[in-house]
Amino acid sequence: MTTAREIMTGGVECVGEHETLADAARKMRDLGVGSLPICGDDHRLKGMVTDRDIVIKCVAEGRDPASTLASELAEGKPVTIGADDPVDEVLHTMAQHQVRRLPVIDGHDMVGIVSQADVARHVPEEKVGELLEAISS
């Protein structure tokens, strides 16, 4: 049985909850990614921020990304998956919550992220198609 740990991308960088959205945007640019986990001082996952969040929830609202903290966009409890959970549970969770990226947790530590691209590389085509349909609806 393949697990989340086996298909995830490890070595994920966080934006700190006290860092600004401008800091998050620069990290995204430098890393070539469109989202980052928001991590607290306790190194626990507080949420996720996407490039779209920065534009829609900050810039379009007339807020200043250089003074708006990442923590201000961390809404509710983040959707995660356990590192040793089976891939079928990964697919179910992504589809149920309509998320394209799923942080992978081992205990309380974030150890990686499963993205749609990770799924596409490791899962049979028909399951990838079902996931894309569920997320896009």
* Alpha carbon of residue 79 to chain centroid: 9
This prediction's pTM? 0.83
- Sequence ranges of the domains in the chain: 4-136
* Alpha carbon of residue 78 to chain centroid: 9
* CATH number for the segment(s) 4-136: 3.10.580.10
Residue 137's pLDDT band, with cuts at 50, 70 and 90, is low
> For 32-91, how does the pLDDT look when each residue is reduced to its tens digit (9 = 90+)?
999 999 998 887 899 999 999 999 999 999 999 999 999 998 877 889 999 999 999 998
